[in-house]
Amino acid sequence: MPDWNLEKKRFLSSIIFYTRIPVSLFLQADPMEKGAPQQSSRYFPLIGILVGLVCSLAFLAANEILNKEISIILGLALGVWITGALHEDGLADSADGFGAGWDPEQIRVIMKDSRIGVYGVLSLLFVMFIKFEALLSIKVEQLPLVWIAGHAFSRLASIGLLLPLNYLGGSNNKSSSMVQLDFQDWLVAGISGILPLVFLGIEAFSAVAAILILGGVLTRFFGKRIGGVTGDCLGASQQLSETLFYLIMAIYFHS
């Protein structure tokens, strides 16, 4: 039987790791103790469902009094805030590193630099603009489910890179606990990452196919350039997968 108290700690640890939600303020015990963080990443896609749900609710509320464009921008902005721009930061760092670096060591040094360069700025601008335009073209009735599924499955796709590639990050990196995922972790992550797709119908699985192809490309690219992945690479993968998911869904659910 599962230790539900430990599972609760793992879930709360994942919220603390990957969001700004101040759950620790309402707890008597520290959820980070007793090894809970080591398997908290099993709930990474579930965190995506939570983030997508918050974005969707914000959009639906705003859309009652504002136009669709502003409502989507508010939803996107809330998503960035609630995650602390963790994945967007990974995208920008990866763009700077691979854009300006020539060898693996130089690439990783640039990625660790807290300053953002032109490649990072452009990558964020392009990705956010494409997300906005894709979501804008989707029917309002379908948009909340698309938002939730996009956040959930993109996170599953991101940690999926850890199956074929070595993790190169340091022990203090927020993604470091992901390297210890076991079968049960992958099962929990897989269910929560795939379940929202079921409610979108068969069309959603064409996006899955596209993201799997993207994952193959990223696996080859990261493996060839630096011999594995870092936390920034995983963040970039999440952002690119989420954006691609919205683009594919915009084809099927165009308003």
- Per-residue pLDDT averaged across 94-121, rounded? 94
Which helix H or strand E contains 186, and what residues bound it? helix 183-198
- Per-residue pLDDT averaged across 217-246, rounded? 97
Which sign, positive or negative, has the C-alpha torsion 218, 224, 228, 233? negative
The rounded distance, in Å, linking the Cα atoms of 101 and 33 is 38
Q: Give the pLDDT band of residue 226 (cuts 50, 70, 90).
A: very high
pLDDT at 254 over 50: yes
pLDDT at 152 over 60: yes
pLDDT at 4 over 80: no
Mean pLDDT of the chain: 90
Q: How far is CA 243 from CA 157, 168, 238, in A?
A: 12, 25, 9
The percent of residues above 90 in pLDDT, for the chain, comes to: 75
Q: Give the pLDDT band of residue 104 (cuts 50, 70, 90).
A: very high
The rounded distance, in Å, linking the Cα atoms of 83 and 120 is 18
- Per-residue pLDDT averaged across 222-226, rounded? 96
Q: How far is CA 45 from CA 19, 103, 106, 192, in A?
A: 13, 32, 31, 6
The rounded distance, in Å, linking the Cα atoms of 164 and 182 is 14
Nearest to 12 by CA among 188, 33, 1, 54: 33
The rounded distance, in Å, linking the Cα atoms of 88 and 86 is 6
